[in-house]
Amino acid sequence: MSSKIRFWATVLVCVFLISSSLTSIIGAAGDARVKLARIYSDLVNAESAGADVSVAATKLDEAGRLIASAESANEPEKSNLLAMASVLIGEVEAMIPKLMEAGRSATLYRSVTTIASVAISASSAIFLYIYGPRIIWRLWLRSRRGWRVRRA
């Protein structure tokens, strides 16, 4: 009877260990997907702020590919793929505050540039409206200063 109990206890322990390791691996992949989705939404916010997110998006895309390939891989390879994906997600997460600030700066620069160009165009139009005819007539008279008029 004790050998049957040891056998079933061993089987139960093995099943528990295998299921807990599978659960932790599946949980790690699920956690990586959740973190990937959160970082992606932060990246979308940075892009809407005006930042250039092409490098970060490429890294995030690669992390997504690693997570997808980890779901169909065996245990040692799965852990490595998830670790690489986690590193890439961490790099992108570290880039997001800088990207948000760069986006805000780029938006401010575009706004200032647009306002300045409109102001210069408007002031040039007003200046030409007021002083344009006077300048044109003076230039015309100056260019013909040496002309002699004779009776026909």
pLDDT exceeds cutoff 90 at 12: no
Residue 51 lies in a domain: yes
Q: Which residue has the higher pLDDT, 79 or 4?
A: 79
Residue pointed to by tokens 């260990």: 17
Residue 31 lies in a domain: yes
Residue 122 lies in a domain: no
Tokens of 94: 């570290």
What pLDDT is recorded for position 20? 46
- pTM value is 0.59
Cα separation, 56 vs 8, whole angstroms? 51
Residue 140 lies in a domain: no
**Parent domain of 84:** 2-107
Total number of domains in the chain: 1
Residue 61 lies in a domain: yes
pLDDT exceeds cutoff 90 at 128: yes
Residue 142 lies in a domain: no
Q: What is the pLDDT of residues 43-71, one digit of tens each?
A: 888 888 888 888 988 999 998 888 888 88
What pLDDT is recorded for position 48? 86
Q: What is the pLDDT of residues 84-120, one digit of tens each?
A: 888 999 999 999 999 899 889 988 999 999 999 999 9
What pLDDT is recorded for position 126? 97
Question: Average pLDDT, whole number, for the chain?
Answer: 82
Residue 79 lies in a domain: yes
Question: Phi/psi at 60 (nearest 5 deg)?
Answer: -65, -35
Asked if 90 and 105 touch (Cβ cutoff 8 Å), the reply is: no
Residue 71 lies in a domain: yes
Question: Phi/psi at 72 (nearest 5 deg)?
Answer: -110, 10
